[in-house]
Chains A and B, each alone.
Chain A
Amino acid sequence: MFGEGQKVAGNVPRLQLISACVAVVEKRLAGLIGVVVFLLITANIICRLLRLPVFWIDELAIYAMIWMAFLAASAGIQGRDHIVVTLVADRLSAQAQKFLSYFVDLVMLVFGGILLVLAWVWFAPYDLIIAGGDVTEFSENTLNFIYSEPTSAIGLPKFLFWLIMPIFSFTICLHSLAHLLSVRIVNLPEKSKVSAFQKEGE
C-alpha cells in the first residue's frame, strides 16, 4: 500500500511509518464522512419535500462534520498542512528553521499531552470500571455526567460522538512525536508527506 514508504522503511523509526499510515486512513475517512454529510443534507431536503421530515438528520450531519474536521485536522498535523504564521521562519537560516520546527513539534506534543490528560479526566474510564459500568452509580460517585448526557434529537448518548476528542488528542501526540523523532533524519518528513499525498491522488 505504501510503495514510497517501504523503500525508506529500513532507516525509518517504525513510529514514523505508523504516523503516515494513520494519516492516510484519517484523510480517507474524512473524505468518506464528507460524502456522508453531503448525502444526509440531500436526504433531508428529499424527506421534507415528501412531508416526512426526519428531525435528527441535521444533528447527525453536524456530528459527522465535526468528526470529519478533527480527522482532517489530525492528518493535517502529519502533513504539516495547518495554517501557520511564517513571518519569522521565512527570515531564518535553514539550520535555524530546523530548530524552530523542532520547537513547534515539541509544543504540539505538549499540547496533545494536555488534551489527552483532560480527555482521561473527562471520560474517567477508571471510575466507570469501579462503578461496574453503571452510569447512575458513576455519576453519583463522581458528579460527572458525561455518560448520561443525551443528544437532543438522535436519541443516542452523546459521549459516543465525543469519542473523537480522545482519539484526536491521541493522534496529535502520535503525529507530533513521529515528527520529533524524525528530525535528525534528513528530508524524511517531506518524503512521508509525498507518499501520503500520492496515494490520495491515485
Chain B
Amino acid sequence: ASGNGDVMRLGLITPPPHQWTKTATAIAAELEKDGFSKKLSVFPSGQLGNEAQMLQLLQTGAMDIGFFTTSELANRLPQFAAFYTPYLAKDAAHAARILSGTVAVEILASTRKIGLVGLGYGMAGMRQIVARGQVSGYGDLKGLKVRVVPDAPLTDFWYLAGTAPTAIPLSVLYDAFANGQVDAMHIDFENTLRLKFYQHAKSVLYTDHMMFPMVALASAKSWARMSEDDKKYLNNVFQKHLAVLLTSYVTADQGFKEKLIEEGVNIVKVDKDFFGDAPDNWYDRWSKRSPYVQKLKEEADSVR
C-alpha cells in the first residue's frame, strides 16, 4: 500500500489453525528472519473481506498478496475450469504433481489479464461426498440437494450428475445439513472432521472425484513497484513454502481420513461409475469452452 511502504499485506479466508494460514505465517517468519526490507502481515479468516472483495483489493493494489480458492477465478477466467475436470487427479499425490506441471503454470499466468501475478499453487484435500441418507451406488444421488460453492464449472458437474446443486454459505452449513436443507455436500475429509459434519451423516463416500487447488496471487500494481531482486527473492520463498504445503496435503488428507475412521465413521470407497455419464459429459461440454481442459488432462495422464 502507498502510505505504508514497509508493510505487505497477505489476506486469505482460512482461520489461523488451517494449513494455508500456517503456510502464510511461515513465509512471514522467513522474510523477517532473512531481514527482507518489508514486513509481511497476514490477515486470516477473511478479515479483509471475502474472496471477491480481496481480489478487488489486489487489483487496486491495497492488498499485496492473497491465497484464493479457484472458485472466484473460475467465474472470471475460463482457463481455471480445467481444475474442475472430474477424476483429473487420482489422489492427492497426483494432484500435487499436476499443480507442479507446465500447463498449470500457463493457467496461472492468465491471471495477468485481471491485474494479478501468480506466485504458485497450494491445495486442500481431495473432494469427497458426505450425505445425510444412505448413498451407496449409481442412481442414489439423483434428485439430492448437494451443497456447492456457486461457480459455473462445479455447479454444472452437479447438474449433470442429476442432483440439485444448492448454494449454502459454509458458516450455516452445519445447521443446514443437520436439519436437512441440504442432503449432501461436496467437501474434503478435513472439514468433515473439523466441522463435525459426520455427526449427521449416514454415508461418507471416499470418491476423490475432484482436486482442490489453492492459488497464491500478488497484486500486479504492487508487484510493479518492487525491484527485480525482491521479486526473485519473494518468488523463491513462496515456491519453497507452497511446495511444502502441496506435499503436506498428500499425508494430511490420509491422516484426516484415518481420524474419521477412529471416530467410528464408516467410509465407503466408490469409483468413477458412481457418477454415471456425468464426468464424460462434463468433459465434452467444458473442453469446448476452454482448450486448457484438454491440455491439462493430457498432462495429468502423463504424470499419473
Using a CB–CB distance below 8 Å, which chain A residues touch chain B? 48, 51-53, 55-56, 58-59, 139, 143-145, 148-150, 152-153
Given A48-B145, A145-B56, A152-B221 contact (CB < 8 Å): no
Given A143-B221, A149-B56, A152-B151, A53-B114 contact (CB < 8 Å): no
The 8 closest A-B pairs by CB, nearest first: A153-B150, A55-B167, A53-B166, A53-B164, A152-B150, A150-B75, A51-B143, A143-B115
Residues of A within 8 A of B75 (CB): 150, 152
Given A53-B145, A55-B150, A153-B150, A148-B166 contact (CB < 8 Å): no
A153 to B155, CA, bound (A): 10
Contact with A along B209-221 (1 / 0, CB 8 A): 0000000000011
Residues of A within 8 A of B115 (CB): 139, 143, 145
Residues of A within 8 A of B166 (CB): 48, 53, 55
A7 to B290, CA, bound (A): 66
Residue of B nearest to A52 (CB): B164
A49 to B52, CA, bound (A): 30
Q: List 22 A-B contacts (CB under 8 A).
A: A48-B145, A48-B164, A48-B166, A51-B143, A51-B145, A52-B164, A53-B145, A55-B150, A55-B155, A56-B150, A56-B167, A59-B150, A143-B59, A143-B221, A145-B114, A145-B115, A148-B76, A149-B52, A152-B71, A152-B75, A152-B150, A153-B150
Q: Let me know if A152 and B164 touch, CB within 8 A.
A: no
Residue of B nearest to A55 (CB): B167
Residues of B within 8 A of A51 (CB): 143, 145, 164
Q: Let me know if A58 and B76 touch, CB within 8 A.
A: no
Interface residue SS majority, chain B: mixed
Residue of A nearest to B59 (CB): A145
State which residues 163-217 of B face A: CB under 8 Å.
164-167, 181
Residues of B within 8 A of A56 (CB): 150, 167
Residue count of chain B within 8 Å CB distance of chain A:
22
Residues of B within 8 A of A53 (CB): 145, 164-166
A17 to B220, CA, bound (A): 49
A163 to B114, CA, bound (A): 22
A144 to B59, CA, bound (A): 7
Known: A48-B145, A48-B164; 11 extra A-B contacts, CB below 8 A, are A48-B166, A51-B143, A53-B145, A55-B155, A55-B167, A56-B150, A58-B167, A143-B115, A145-B59, A148-B76, A150-B75
Residues of B within 8 A of A152 (CB): 52, 71-72, 75, 150-151
Residues of A within 8 A of B56 (CB): 145, 149
A58 to B169, CA, bound (A): 10
A54 to chain B, nearest CB (A): 9
A160 to chain B, nearest CB (A): 15
Residue of B nearest to A50 (CB): B164
Contact with A along B60-91 (1 / 0, CB 8 A): 00000000000110011000000000000000
Residues of B within 8 A of A153 (CB): 150, 167
A148 to B181, CA, bound (A): 33
A48 to B72, CA, bound (A): 25
Residues of A within 8 A of B59 (CB): 143-145
Residues of A within 8 A of B72 (CB): 152
Interface centre among B76, B143, B164 (most CB of A within 10 A): B164
Residue of A nearest to B144 (CB): A51
Residues of B within 8 A of A148 (CB): 76, 114
